[in-house]
Amino acid sequence: MKIKAVALASLLSISASAVADTGVSFGFVYDFGAKPQLGFSAKLISKDVEEQFVGALGVSYFPTATYKLGADIGVGFTLKNSVITAGYDVFKKKPQVGLGYMKTQ
Write out pLDDT tens, residues 12-47.
Answer: 554 444 555 889 999 999 999 878 889 999 999 999
List Cα–Cα distances, 73 to 8, 22, 86, 98, 101, in angstroms.
Answer: 11, 15, 8, 11, 17
> Measured over all CA atoms, what is the biggest interatomic distance in the chain, rounded to whole angstroms?
40
* pLDDT tens digits for range 68-85: 999 999 999 999 999 999
pTM strictly above 0.85: no
